[in-house]
């Protein structure tokens, strides 16, 4: 089932019901066909490889989604560059090798690159060190492929938070006032297309996830809209997720128009562990 929610003339959200990863190719092809996304000859594809893990555990973006996106981009004559910097220095490299991603595209471990400080001049984030390859996404179109899972500080980690992978690690400086800082980071990185992997989601915590078979993907040419719908599908009140609420206000995205009753049947309650709920207080 695919549900279109036309929220404005500028963007829309597509929710796809996908039972297993063997069926993602068709959905992703349909998404690219339906969105009039302006892409350049070379483009970053940004998954969530927080750590090296079995992709069925609900922690990282499943490689089948990455491969399907790369195929479409190549068919369109676009050179994809898969770029990510995980929590640990070698996490991205381990994922690139294990999932044979180097066989289909150039892969860059952002953690091993030179980092350059860039002015943000946001409300809370004034400047930030970003990886050299990330400049290919700096105020330019890129494709974001986040995982649908929970997070101790931000309740959810989806498209907006996926931008943190471009930053130098450890990024502890992001934790204080993290919600506004994530919104500020959108001034630098705002994906042309976001496809959220919720075929198998992640509950309990962002690092030690408990997999939950959800069977959905969310796609949008507006990352705030994508995150709002995904968070709602996870059973959250999106207006209580501070960074999404702040981003929606700043970029004039009406959350009432995005999240509606048509997706009620697809909702599953994701849960945070007790420890993760406590950590959330540190991000305010």
Confidence of residue 8 (pLDDT cuts 50, 70, 90): very low
* CA 132, chain centre distance (Å): 20
Residue 153 burial by Cβ neighbours in a 10 Å radius (0-12, 13-18, 19+): buried
Helix, strand and coil content of the chain, in percent to the nearest 5, comes to: 40, 25, 35
Assess if residue 252 is contained within a domain. Answer: yes
Assess if residue 271 is contained within a domain. Answer: yes
Question: pTM for this structure?
Answer: 0.92
Assess if residue 7 is contained within a domain. Answer: no
Assess if residue 187 is contained within a domain. Answer: yes
Determine the straight-line distance between the first and last CA of the chain, rounded to whole angstroms: 38
Q: Which domain holds residue 81?
A: 12-283
Torsion of CA 151, 111, 97, 47, to 10 degrees: 40
What's the chain's average pLDDT? Answer: 91
Taking only the tens place, the pLDDT of each residue in 160-184 is: 999 999 999 988 889 999 999 999 9
The stretches of 148-222 forming alpha helices (DSSP H) are 159-162, 178-185
Angle formed by the axes of helices 24-34 and 63-75, nearest 10°: 40
Taking only the tens place, the pLDDT of each residue in 204-256 is: 989 999 999 999 999 999 999 999 999 999 999 999 999 999 999 999 998 87
Assess if residue 211 is contained within a domain. Answer: yes
Residue 264: what pLDDT? Answer: 87
Assess if residue 273 is contained within a domain. Answer: yes
Assess if residue 2 is contained within a domain. Answer: no
* Helix and strand element counts for the chain (H, E): 9, 12
Q: Give the total number of structural domains in the chain.
A: 1
- In 3D space, the residue among 206, 210, 205, 264 whose CA is nearest the CA of residue 234 turns out to be 264
Confidence of residue 93 (pLDDT cuts 50, 70, 90): very high
Assess if residue 3 is contained within a domain. Answer: no
């Amino acid at each position: 089932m695919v549900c279109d929610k036309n929220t404005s003339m500028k963007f829309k959200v597509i929710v796809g019901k996908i039972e297993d990863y063997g069926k993602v190719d068709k959905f992703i092809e349909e998404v690219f066909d339906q969105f009039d996304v302006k892409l350049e000859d070379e483009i970053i594809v940004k998954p969530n490889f927080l750590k090296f893990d079995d992709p069925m555990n609900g922690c990282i973006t499943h490689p089948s989604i990455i491969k399907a996106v790369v195929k479409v981009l190549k068919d369109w004559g676009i050179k994809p560059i898969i770029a990510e910097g995980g929590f640990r220095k070698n996490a991205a490299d381990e994922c690139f090798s294990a999932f044979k991603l180097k066989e289909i595209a150039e892969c860059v471990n952002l953690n091993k690159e030179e980092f350059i400080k860039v002015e943000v001049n946001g409300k809370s984030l004034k400047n930030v060190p970003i990886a050299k390859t990330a400049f290919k996404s700096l105020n330019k179109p890129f494709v974001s492929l986040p995982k649908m899972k929970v997070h101790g500080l931000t309740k959810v980690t989806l498209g907006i938070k996926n931008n943190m992978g471009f930053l130098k690690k450890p990024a502890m400086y992001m934790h204080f006032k993290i919600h506004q800082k994530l919104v500020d980071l959108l001034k630098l990185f705002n994906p042309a297309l976001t496809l959220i992997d919720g075929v198998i989601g992640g509950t309990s915590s962002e690092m030690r996830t408990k997999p939950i078979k959800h069977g959905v993907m969310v796609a949008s040419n507006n990352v705030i809209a994508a995150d709002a719908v995904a968070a709602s599908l996870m059973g959250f009140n999106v207006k209580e997720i501070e960074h999404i609420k702040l981003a929606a206000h700043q970029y004039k995205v009406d959350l009432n128009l995005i999240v509606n009753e048509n997706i009620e049947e697809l909702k599953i309650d994701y849960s945070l562990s007790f420890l993760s709920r406590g950590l959330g207080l540190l991000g305010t």
